[in-house]
């Protein structure tokens, strides 16, 4: 090979690299200058910035959080950042700025008063759409309003109080039958996941999956469950992949999508057949089923499938994860379990069925649920992207009290895990499980957000709280005491879409019955 020609090729490659580097540097500093000018024009100041070795692309922060994710310390790592930098800080890069905030005034702005300026579609749709389609979890604007309108009747209060608990009772009975009564060790996590699956599939599709049945769990249901579990796991990974990623081909994920879609399509088809067969029947006493309502509205069947999967995704996760986390804490605090049991037995002495109002009336039950959501929120963080240039009311400047200018495309991350550990709100012992703290405690607005807030607040929060409360009450009625059987005392987080207990909830429950 001609060495002169070879040298020329080397020089060309080198100068191309230098030109690209210079272009990026010019782009970076021009963007930074425009940002500072716009910020000054609006009387805004930048919040404290974390120290970065790579201030242009921010790769070092990405790697730091990725390593924390692999070590199952993602939430703890973010809490440490807030402890070091205050309630609001940022991580600038060449094209955008990532803001981190747990300042209640900012949260109110992002989630409520200026919610239209913030969205999720630019970040979530790439990750979610292959599996659950276009629906409430991953769209903004008119598409979001369409989805919200379709599913709103699902969570109407009357459906929860009058009908749902009767269906849910059967599933809880099956759950209790599967728990050993002789003090044998049992991991409650998979049982609670199966409970939530049966309850949510019956509520949404009109027929329970049958995950809690000792016999009769069909191959079709088993295949769907395996596909859904894997698909959900991959969604958590896809949230961290760039949109242009085309090298990651996961054939198992693709097959999981097909299995999940086929399962829900068949549920819709059965609903259509049932509707045709029930024409002329009295429907006033029928329980509410989302699939039936969507089909009766004659919307596109693919749209119906998307809406169902988008509701199913958070519906079963919220209850299963919350119950696991609650019993994780109860096992390490048997005194709390005993006190709750006394309160439940006293409230249940009348022999009347458990209703939404009766469950709500057991104050200590509500304290325990609040404390578990506070200490181990199912959703550890929430991210929003600015859909246009806007302003956050506080967090800027050396004192953190000035407004902050946010450009279109900038991102804010809120850590509920850090927010709920505020010692100013929850006391110096905010890092420990203590339900009694809720006696007389009324957290200031936007300082306790177990289900989010504003227009995108979880529409199923009353349903989830009712199911969690009912399952808790029935279990403490059936078992007189609890023991921890996990040698690891601290909570080990596993991040999927939710933050799960990596060690489950390994306990022993002892029944009065012999």
CA–CA distance, 225 with 312 (Å, rounded to integer): 12
Quick one: which of 338, 356, 402 has its CA closest to 105? 402
Q: Is 458 labeled as ligand-binding?
A: yes
Sign of CA dihedral 84, 87, 88, 91: positive
231-236: list long-range contacts, CB under 8 Å, 24+ apart: 231/131, 231/256, 231/257, 231/260, 232/131, 232/313, 232/317, 232/496, 232/497, 233/496, 234/131, 235/127, 235/128, 235/131, 235/132, 235/496, 235/497, 236/495, 236/496, 236/497
Quick one: which of 134, 116, 115 has its CA closest to 125? 134
CB 78 within 8 A of CB 381: yes
User: Phi/psi class of residue 173: alpha, beta or left (left: φ > 0; alpha: ψ in -120 to 50)?
Assistant: alpha
CA–CA distance, 87 with 47 (Å, rounded to integer): 10
Residue 163 CA, distance from chain mean position? 26
Quick one: which of 443, 381, 409 has its CA closest to 101? 381
Can you tell me which residue has the tokens 């604007």?
141
- Give 24's contacts (C-beta < 8 A, 6+ positions apart): 56, 94
Can you tell me which residue has the tokens 């200058």?
33
Mind spelling out the 3-state secondary structure of 317-353? HHHHHHHHHHHHHHHCCHHHHHHHHHHHHHHCCCCCC
CA–CA distance, 189 with 498 (Å, rounded to integer): 14
CA angle 218-228-465, nearest 5°?
95
CB 486 within 8 A of CB 189: no
User: Phi/psi class of residue 422: alpha, beta or left (left: φ > 0; alpha: ψ in -120 to 50)?
Assistant: beta
Alpha-carbon distances of 103 from 83, 111, 362, 368, 445, rounded to whole Å: 13, 12, 32, 25, 11
Residue 341 CA, distance from chain mean position? 29
What residue numbers does the annotated binding site cover?
Answer: 458
What residue numbers does the annotated binding site for heme cover?
Answer: 458
């Amino acid at each position: 090979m001609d060495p002169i020609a070879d040298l020329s090729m080397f020089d060309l490659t080198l100068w191309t690299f230098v030109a690209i580097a210079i272009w990026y540097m010019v782009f970076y500093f021009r963007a930074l200058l425009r940002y500072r000018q716009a910020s000054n024009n609006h009387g805004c100041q930048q919040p404290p910035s974390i120290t970065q070795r790579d201030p242009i692309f921010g790769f070092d922060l990405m790697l730091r959080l990725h390593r924390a994710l692999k070590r199952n310390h993602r939430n703890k790592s973010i809490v440490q950042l807030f402890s070091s930098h205050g309630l609001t800080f940022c991580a600038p890069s060449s094209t955008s700025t990532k803001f981190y905030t747990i300042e209640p005034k900012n949260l109110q702005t992002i989630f409520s008063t200026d919610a239209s300026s913030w969205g999720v579609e630019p970040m979530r749709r790439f990750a979610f759409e292959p599996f659950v389609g276009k629906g409430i979890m991953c769209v903004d604007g008119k598409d979001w309003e369409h989805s919200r309108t379709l599913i709103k009747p699902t969570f109407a209060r009357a459906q929860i109080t009058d009908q749902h608990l009767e269906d849910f009772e059967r599933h809880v009975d099956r759950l209790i039958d599967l728990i050993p009564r002789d003090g044998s060790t049992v991991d409650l996590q998979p049982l609670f996941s199966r409970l939530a699956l049966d309850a949510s599939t019956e509520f949404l599709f009109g027929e329970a999956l049958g995950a809690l049945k000792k016999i009769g769990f069909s191959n079709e249901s088993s295949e769907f469950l395996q596909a859904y579990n894997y698909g959900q796991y991959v969604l958590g990974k896809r949230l961290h992949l760039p949109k242009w990623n085309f090298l990651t081909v996961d054939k198992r994920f693709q097959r999981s999508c097909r299995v999940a879609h086929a399962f829900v399509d068949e549920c819709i088809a059965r609903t259509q057949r049932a509707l045709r067969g029930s024409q002329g029947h009295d429907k006033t006493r029928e329980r509410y089923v989302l699939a039936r309502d969507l089909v009766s509205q004659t919307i596109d069947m693919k749209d119906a499938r998307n809406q169902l999967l988008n509701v199913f995704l958070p519906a079963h996760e919220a209850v299963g994860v919350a119950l696991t986390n609650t019993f994780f804490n109860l096992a390490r605090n048997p005194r709390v379990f005993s006190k709750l049991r006394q309160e439940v037995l006293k409230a249940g002495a009348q022999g009347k069925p458990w209703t939404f109002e009766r469950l709500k009336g057991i104050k200590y039950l509500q304290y325990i649920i609040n404390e578990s959501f506070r200490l181990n929120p199912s959703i550890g963080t929430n991210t929003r992207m600015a859909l246009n240039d806007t302003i956050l009311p506080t967090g800027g400047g050396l004192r953190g009290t000035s407004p902050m200018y946010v450009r279109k495309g900038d991102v804010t991350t809120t850590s509920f895990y850090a927010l709920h550990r505020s010692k100013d709100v929850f006391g110096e012992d905010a890092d420990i499980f203590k339900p009694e703290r809720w006696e007389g405690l009324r957290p200031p607005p936007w300082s306790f957000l177990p289900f989010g807030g504003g227009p995108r607040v979880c529409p199923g929060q009353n349903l989830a709280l009712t199911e969690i409360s009912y399952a808790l009450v029935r279990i403490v009625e059936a078992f007189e005491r609890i023991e921890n059987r996990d040698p690891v005392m601290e909570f080990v987080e596993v991040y999927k879409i939710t933050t799960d207990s990596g060690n489950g909830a390994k306990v022993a429950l002892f029944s009065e019955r012999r």
